[in-house]
Amino acid sequence: MNIILLGPPGAGKGTQAKRIEERHGPVQLSTGDMLRSAIRAGSPLGQRAKPIMDAGKLVPDEILIDMIAERIALPDCARGFILDGFPRTVVQAEALDHMLARIGKKLDHVIEMRVDEAALVERITGRFTCAKCGTGYHDRYKQPKVQGVCDVCGAKEFTRRADDTAEAMKTRLAAYHAQTAPILPYYRSTGLYSAVDGMAEIDEVTRQIDAVLAKPPPVRLGDIPKPIKVAPRRRTEETEGA
Ligand code: ADP
Ligand code: ADP
Ligand code: ZN
């Protein structure tokens, strides 16, 4: 199953992508996480991306397109993938179509997480993550069960993102509206699109996503098998002499 999760920063894409991965198997591909690990590794790509990300702007399309094309071709994506944070521009959406066609893969679901923008700054500024396994938490909405200890892996170190500030959030939301929201009409016009209420509680959002994933995949033009043999047309009175 190949899925895209769409929504502004703080919509809950990472939180739900991890849950889909656990419950249904496709691997989470978070372009934000990939870029942050390039920054930690100090690679040339990381050095180029860091100031752009800290400011809340989008990293150039060609970098992201190459990054995802390489990642999607790896063997673990054979069990399916969840794109979290990609595509983020019309150019990236078009490039994704081409790369999937080239490797013979198709999207099954595009899920928009709808949220009330007033809630997003609080979500982003309260966000923290396990430094070891990447599980996401929130100061108010999702504290670890034992304070200071990750529920999933037991680690005691957590990190906060450099761009999770109210200031960078303004730029990130502006980038979402100017560059990412324009790809929504494109996916809405395919049979693949569904929306869920990203303002609901985390478990309820998961239930809504599970309901979407349980829907049978739409029949697409390319999927309709071509008839193997066409029966010869019988001559009838109407076609007689035509
Ligand atoms: P969030 O989950 O809060 O939306 P991400 O972790 O997805 O944030 O992205 C963090 C930053 O990484 C973005 O603000 C942007 O600078 C960069 N980034 C991630 N994905 C993309 C992309 N597809 N295109 C351009 N920049 C990206
Ligand atoms: P995104 O990947 O879309 O930027 P995250 O999944 O990282 O968003 O969520 C942003 C913050 O909001 C995290 O701290 C997360 O724990 C919290 N969060 C996620 N979903 C919800 C929800 N439905 N209700 C309240 N808080 C949420
Ligand atoms: Zn952990």
pLDDT tens-place values along the chain, 242 residues long? 999 999 999 999 999 999 999 999 999 999 999 999 999 999 999 999 999 999 999 999 999 999 999 999 999 999 999 999 999 999 999 999 999 999 999 999 999 999 999 899 999 999 999 999 999 999 999 999 999 999 999 999 999 999 999 999 999 999 999 999 999 999 999 889 999 999 999 999 999 999 999 987 666 655 555 555 555 566 655 554 44
DSSP string, 83-146: EES---SHHHHHHHHHHHHHHT----EEEEEE--GGGHHHHHHTEEEETTT--EEETTTB--SB
pLDDT of residue 241: 47
pLDDT of residue 222: 54
Neighbours of 132 (CB within 10 A): 15
CB-ligand 1 contact for 86 (6 Å cutoff): yes
161 catalytic, yes or no? yes
172 catalytic, yes or no? yes
* N-to-C CA span, the chain: 49
Helices vs strands, H then E, count in the chain: 9, 8
pTM of the model: 0.90
- If one residue of 138, 151, 201 were mutated to test the ligand 2 pocket, choosing by the most ligand atoms within 8 A of its CB, it would be 138
149-169 burial code (b ≥16 CB/10 A, e <16): ebeeeeeeebeeeebbbeebb
| Protein residue closest via CA to atom 26 of ligand 2 | 141
Burial class, 85, CB count within 10 angstroms (exposed 0-12 / middle 13-18 / buried 19+) = buried
Ligand closest to Cα of 151 equals: 3
